[in-house]
Structures are given as C-alpha cells and as structure tokens.
Amino acid sequence: MNETVSVIMPVYNAEKYIAFAIDSVLAQSYSNWELLIVDDCSTDLSVSLVSNYVKKDDRVHLFHTDKPSGSPCEPRNIGIRYARGRYIAFLDSDDMWLPNKLEEQLKMFEGGKIAIVYSNYEKISEEAVRQYILTLLVLLIVPAVNLSGLTLSRMRKRISEIGVRKAFGAPRRELMMQVLSENMLYSLFGGILGLVLSYVAAFLLGGMLFSVDFVSNGVEDLRTMCVDLLFDPTVFLLAFLACFLLNLLSAVIPAWRVTRTNIVDAINER
C-alpha cells in the first residue's frame, strides 16, 4: 500500500509541544503523507515554529483560520477541505505518534472491509519528561566526568617531563599545543566510547530507565520511543558535541596548569 495519508493538526498556542508533534510525523516509517497544520490565530511562536518546518519539508503545509474559533473543529474541517490523501489522520499539536503508527494502522485497511481505525494511547506527564532528560544527562555526563579525571591524572604523571623540556628552552605555547593535541585525541576516543556505552545502557536497560505510567494498554511502550530518539542523528550529534566540549575543557585546564608549573617543582614532580 502506498496511498497518501493526510495528517491534520489543529494548532492554538502550542509552542511548547508542537515541535515534538511534528517531529513524530517526520519520523514515521511510512513516508507517503502530507501534514496539514491549521493555526487558529495563535498569539505565541507556534506559527514561526511551523514555518521553519514548512521551509525544510514540502510535505508540511500551514493554513490559518480567519478568526479564532475557540475549538479544534473548525481547523480540522479546514484541513479536510485541503486534504489530498485517500486517508485522513488527526494529530493534536500536544501529542506524539510512535514511529510505526501509520504503517501499522494502514495494514488494517487492506482488504477493503475496514473504514475507520483507532488505537489506545499513553499519557506522558511532565514528570516523566524530566525523568527522561535527567537519565539522559546522567548517561552522558558520568563517562565525560570520569574521562576528565583520567586526563588530569595523566597530566600529573607528565609534570617532570614537561619541566625538563621547559628547562631546555621549549616555549610554553609549544608545550601547550602538544599536550592539548594529545589530550584532544584521547578525549575524542573517550567521548565516543562514553556515548556508545551510554546508548548500550539505554537500549538494554530501557525498561528500567524510561518506564512511564500509561493510561491504557498501547501497542508499544513509550520507552521504545525514548530509546529510538537516542539514536536520532540530531540527538546523537548534540549529545556528542556536549561530551566533546566537556572533555575539551578537561584537556585545556590540566594542560594550562602543567605548563605554568615552576621548572624546579616540575622536575621534582611537586
């Protein structure tokens, strides 16, 4: 089946959650869809956020009501009016879909005997979101902090070596750049290893780390989505950048301290 699905999303002052809703559509395993977002005269940044998605993906379209309707009914009707797909799917601006939602539900239409498909849902509380963010930070920061300690330990072992080189006229800048380059390479490999171990922990222990209370029995558990998000390229890049910057600081500070050590103290390893 390769029929177009028209996803209709009414919006009113949803700047806090709408990016999550749109991203969950973009992440669908079934890609033949169009997203019709109908703004009901929002007064926040919702329209600006949606406009950025419209520029990036030609499957995303933005429409407006003439005046505030005070209900999602009118925006949905406008979306239906402009829909070009054979199937209609509704998604509120403060909700999210699991990645295979459309793919699984479209299978139900095969055979032509079913006209409407619906599913249960899971409730995401802000407390659960905070738990997810905190767990992710711990998984990423702990390896980075440990790496910082290892870097400082390596620097202390090299104090005497640096003292001898300074005694023979090696400029501080040269020593600084050499130590920094060595530790940058060390930090790079350590950062990658830390991220890999974090993702392995998130994948294997997802049920314990990302467990969330839900309203009814859904098709999949929410923690599946959480683990999937960890492997999103954008999330991976941002997380890796954070670890890389932290480990960069862990290399710069010890290198600066070591190169400023008095020559006599450095040779005596004080």
Taking the CA atoms of 130, 146, 236 and 242 in sequence, report the sign of the dihedral they define.
positive
pLDDT reported for residue 161: 72
What's at 53, amino acid-wise? Y
Please give the residue that has the higher pLDDT: either 49 or 226.
Answer: 49
Per-residue pLDDT tens over the stretch 98-144? 999 999 999 999 888 888 998 888 777 666 666 666 666 666 666 65
Query: Is pTM, for the whole model, over 0.75?
Result: no
pLDDT reported for residue 216: 36
pLDDT reported for residue 80: 97
Interacting residues of 77 by C-beta distance below 8 A, sequence separation 6+: none
Q: Where are the alpha helices (DSSP H) in 158-232?
A: 159-167, 172-204, 206-209, 222-230
Q: What percent of the chain has pLDDT over 70?
A: 53
What is the maximum span of the chain, computed from C-alpha positions, in angstroms? 88
Query: Which of the residue ranges 84-98, 163-177, 244-258 has the most confident prediction, judged by mean pLDDT?
Result: 84-98
* 83 phi/psi in degrees, rounded to 5: -65, 140
Please give the residue that has the higher pLDDT: either 194 or 178.
Answer: 178
Per-residue pLDDT tens over the stretch 4-42? 999 999 999 999 999 999 999 999 999 999 999 999 999
Say how far apart CA 11 and CA 18 lie, in whole Å: 8
Per-residue pLDDT tens over the stretch 137-187? 666 666 655 555 566 666 666 666 776 777 777 787 777 777 777 766 766
pLDDT at 222 over 80: no
pLDDT reported for residue 142: 61
Please give the residue that has the higher pLDDT: either 49 or 198.
Answer: 49
Beta pairing, strands 87-90 & 60-64: unpaired
pLDDT reported for residue 174: 79
Which stretch of DSSP H or E encloses residue 59? none
User: Which of 31, 270, 257 is CA-nearest to residue 151?
Assistant: 257
Residue 250's pLDDT band, with cuts at 50, 70 and 90, is: low
Count of C-beta atoms within a 10 Å radius of residue 249: 13
pLDDT at 60 over 90: yes
Interacting residues of 72 by C-beta distance below 8 A, sequence separation 6+: 10, 12, 40, 92
* 211 phi/psi in degrees, rounded to 5: -70, 135
Q: How far is CA 9 from the centre of its chain?
A: 22
User: Which of 153, 159, 166 is CA-nearest to residue 268?
Assistant: 159
User: Which of 93, 99, 131, 87 is CA-nearest to residue 219?
Assistant: 99
How far from 101 is each of 11, 34, 255, CA to CA, in Å? 21, 15, 51
Mean pLDDT of 177-200: 69
pLDDT reported for residue 3: 92
Average predicted confidence (pLDDT) for the chain: 77
pLDDT at 228 over 60: no
